[in-house]
Amino acid sequence: MTSASGVPAYRRVLLKLSGEALMGSDAYGINREVLMRVAAEIKTVVATGVQLAVVIGGGNIFRGIAPSAQGMDRASADYMGMLATVMNSLAMQDALEKLDVPVRVQSALRVDQVVEPYVRRRAIRHLEQGRVVIFAAGTGNPFFTTDTAATLRGMEIGADVVLKATKVDGVYDRDPVKHPDAKRFETISFDEVLEKRLGVMDAASIALCRDQKMHLRVFSIQKAGNLLRVCRGEDVGTLVKGA
């Protein structure tokens, strides 16, 4: 799908950012320069009229405390990870507000003193009024990843597509870091992703997208302007869709 230059191809999108994407070259945590660059890309997209919601992982923060979580009850560790996503969401909210972008954070865990609770209809209303909505704390339940939360929220708000922004410029048949001759797919089906175990997103997320006929595009957030190009319908990265 390619639209005329400057015209968005999607009305509403769900952007999934990994926590690691905010680290830059740091070992863990939030790299302020990277954060502001991503926020500026979001601002550019919103200025075109696209309604944009965001889910951010927590790996960049949880990585720093992971050794302490070893041997911990899985549910407790997952709740720690959810709280890490709240921290990332607040950081992104601050970055966007510094760029004069209206934004709200909604959390699946109740943290009412700092963010709104997740309410689907309120989230949609925010989007319709031109605000970026950041969904924090995953699904609010342990044993589910932020990938699953992203696909779930995307469907709940009626997004046209789920965009997964990573450090890699698409889906490959092998790890391109370890295998320089790895082949990148321009398009691939959800069934192929599951059969080949390509690790695009967790299996539950892929199956959910497939069953609900939600397209998924995987692209690199590290190349400036990629988010805008994707939202214009340009063939950036890899499109994952039904067979």
- The whole-number pLDDT of residue 92 equals 97
Joined together, the tokens standing for residue 47 give: 């200025």
Paired with 116 in beta bridges are 106
CA distance 58 to 82: 7
- The whole-number pLDDT of residue 6 equals 63
Whole-angstrom CA distances from 79 to 74, 86, 90, 149 are 9, 11, 17, 14
Annotated binding-site residue? 185:
no
Annotated binding-site residue? 85:
no
Annotated binding-site residue? 18:
yes
On whether residue 176 sits in a domain, the answer given is yes
On whether residue 6 sits in a domain, the answer given is no
Annotated binding-site residue? 223:
no
Sign of CA dihedral 158, 123, 78, 82: positive
- The whole-number pLDDT of residue 174 equals 87
Annotated binding-site residue? 158:
no
CA distance 171 to 168: 8
CA distance 19 to 29: 9
Annotated binding-site residue? 219:
no
On whether residue 5 sits in a domain, the answer given is no
> What does the pLDDT look like over 35-62, one tens digit per residue?
999 999 999 999 999 999 999 999 888 7
How many domains would you assign to the chain? 1
Q: Tell if the pTM clears 0.85, that is, is over it.
A: yes
> What does the pLDDT look like over 158-174, one tens digit per residue?
999 999 998 889 999 98
Annotated binding-site residue? 24:
no
Flag whether pLDDT at 65 surpasses 60. no
Annotated binding-site residue? 141:
yes
What contacts 88, CB < 8 A, 6 or more positions away?
Answer: 19, 22, 30, 56, 57, 58, 60, 61, 136
What percent of the chain clears pLDDT 70, i.e. is strictly above it?
A: 94
Cβ proximity of 152 and 138 under 8 Å: no
Please tell me the total number of residues recorded for the chain in this structure. Answer: 243
Helix (H, G, I), strand (E, B) or coil at 196: helix
- The whole-number pLDDT of residue 73 equals 87
> What does the pLDDT look like over 4-18, one tens digit per residue?
456 789 999 999 998
Neighbour-count burial of 38, counting CB atoms closer than 10 A to its CB (0-12 exposed, 13-18 middle, 19+ buried): buried
Instruction: Supply the range of the domain harboring residue 116.
Output: 12-241
On whether residue 4 sits in a domain, the answer given is no
On whether residue 3 sits in a domain, the answer given is no
The DSSP symbol for 177 reads: T
Flag whether pLDDT at 104 surpasses 70. yes
Q: Averaged over 63-88, what is the pLDDT?
A: 81
Binned at pLDDT 50, 70 and 90, residue 2 comes out as: very low
Q: Where are the alpha helices (DSSP H) in the chain?
A: 32-46, 59-69, 74-98, 120-128, 146-156, 190-196, 203-211, 226-231
Annotated binding-site residue? 238:
no
AA identity, residue 210: R
CATH of the domain at 46: 3.40.1160.10
- The whole-number pLDDT of residue 4 equals 46
Whole-angstrom CA distances from 74 to 15, 67, 77 are 27, 14, 5
> What does the pLDDT look like over 109-122, one tens digit per residue?
999 999 999 999 99
Rg of the chain on CA atoms, in Å: 17
Annotated binding-site residue? 102:
no
